[in-house]
Amino acid sequence: MKVIITGGSGYFGKNIINKLLNNGIEVLNIDLVKSNIDHDLLSEKLIDLLNDEIKIKNPKNYSSIIHLAGYANLEEANSNPFKCLDLNVRMTMKIVEFSVKNNINHFIYSSSMYALGKHGGFYGVSKKSCELFLREYCSQNNVKLSIIRVGSLFGGDSNESNGIHRYITNAINKNEIIYRGTKNDIRFYIHVRDASNSVFEILKERKSGNYNLIGSHPIKIIDVFRIISEILESNFSVKYLEENSNKHYKYTPYNYENIDRVYDLKQSVDFGSGIIEVIANINKK
C-alpha cells in the first residue's frame, strides 16, 4: 500500500507516519517543511499546497490520501477569516480534486470536533464547510470519504503548540498556568499514539464514514491541573481567564443536529501515564 499524507510534518502527522512506516506502508509526505523522519519507505516533497501545482511521480500508484494540512489555530482564524477560508476550504477542495483526477479513491480528512456544534468561530465554520463540500464532491465522484474528528491530543513528543505541553512547561518554569476558560470546562483528551493507531485502522478499512476520535473519559480542566500538580509535586497557581465568547466549547462540542458514532478506540495509554511522558520529554529538552 502507498499513501499520501499532507501536513505530515506536524505533531499528529509525524505520529501517523511512524505508525504507517512501522507497518510496511510506503508514505509520501507533502508539506512546507520536512518531517526529519529517516526511513526507506518515506519520501517527502516540499509544496505550497494552496498556491503550487501538485506534481508527484506516478500519483495513480497511491491508494489513499490522508489530508491533515490546514489552519488549526482558533484565535488566528478569527483574526484572519479569509486566510482560514483559503487554507482550510480552498486547499482541501484542491487536494480532493487531485485525488479524483488521479483515481485515488479513498480520502481521509482531518476535521475537528468543532465542526459538530456552534463553537469554534471561523475555524469551526471552515471545518464544517469542508465536511459538507467533501461529502458532496466525493459522493458525485465515487470516492470513499473518511472524516476523522480528533479530540484534544497529548503525548510525550509534543511541543509548545500543544495545550498539555504548554501547561506543564509553564507550571515547571513559571510556577503558574494561565487557562482561558473556567475550571469546570470539559475536555476529551486522547493520546496521540492511540489516535494514530485509529487512523491506521480506518485506513485499512477503506470505508466511508465519520469517526470521532476522543478519549473515553471526559475530564474537567481543574482535574487536569490537579493531576499535573500531583505528578510534579508542585503547588503552582492556576489563573482562569473566563471569556464570554463561543470560540471554545465548555462542556461538549456536540449539538442535537449531529449524531455520529464514536470510533471504538483501543486505548493503550491512560491520562496519567501520558502526562508523565510529557513531563519526561520536557525535562529531557
Per-residue pLDDT of the chain (285 residues; tens, 9 = 90+): 999 999 999 999 999 999 999 999 999 999 999 999 999 999 999 999 999 999 999 999 999 999 999 988 888 888 999 999 999 999 999 999 999 999 999 999 999 988 887 788 999 999 999 999 999 999 999 999 999 999 889 998 898 889 999 999 999 999 999 998 899 998 889 999 999 999 999 999 998 999 989 887 789 999 999 999 999 999 999 999 986 555 555 545 555 455 555 555 666 788 999 999 999 999 987
Specify the DSSP element, H or E, that contains 169. helix 163-173
Q: Which of 10, 36, 31 is nearest to 95 (CA)?
A: 31
Grid coordinates given for 266: 483501543
Q: Which of 23, 29, 25 is nearest to 6 (CA)?
A: 29
φ, ψ dihedrals at 110, nearest 5°: -85, 100
Residue type, 8: G
> Which domains are seen in the chain, by residue range?
2-284 (3.40.50.720)
φ, ψ dihedrals at 123, nearest 5°: -60, -50
